[in-house]
Amino acid sequence: MEVLNVGYGNLVPAGRIVAVLQPGSSPVKRLREDAAKRGRLLDATQGRRTRAVLVLDSDHVLLSAVQTQTLTQRMIGAEGVDS
């Protein structure tokens, strides 16, 4: 199973990630608020600024302090190792 390091020792199964989003837009902010209301918000920022929002296939929304570009490169690198 491939895992993605989303920062500060937090790992997520890479196959469960549906989308990696920038946190600034209004729709993403609403997605985050809705997930919090439903108890589906996971905060992996360790108190730092949110730089990426990951949507998981389990309907969870995960906040990361790692840039979206960095997460994308990590995902591509992980795929290259297994291929």
Does residue 79 carry a pLDDT above 90? Answer: no
Residue 76 pLDDT:
87
Does this model's pTM top 0.85? My answer is: yes
Q: What are phi and psi of 17, to 5 degrees?
A: -80, 125
pLDDT per position as a tens digit, 9-68: 999 999 999 999 999 999 999 999 999 999 999 999 999 999 999 999 999 999 999 999
- Tokens representing 27 are 């729709």
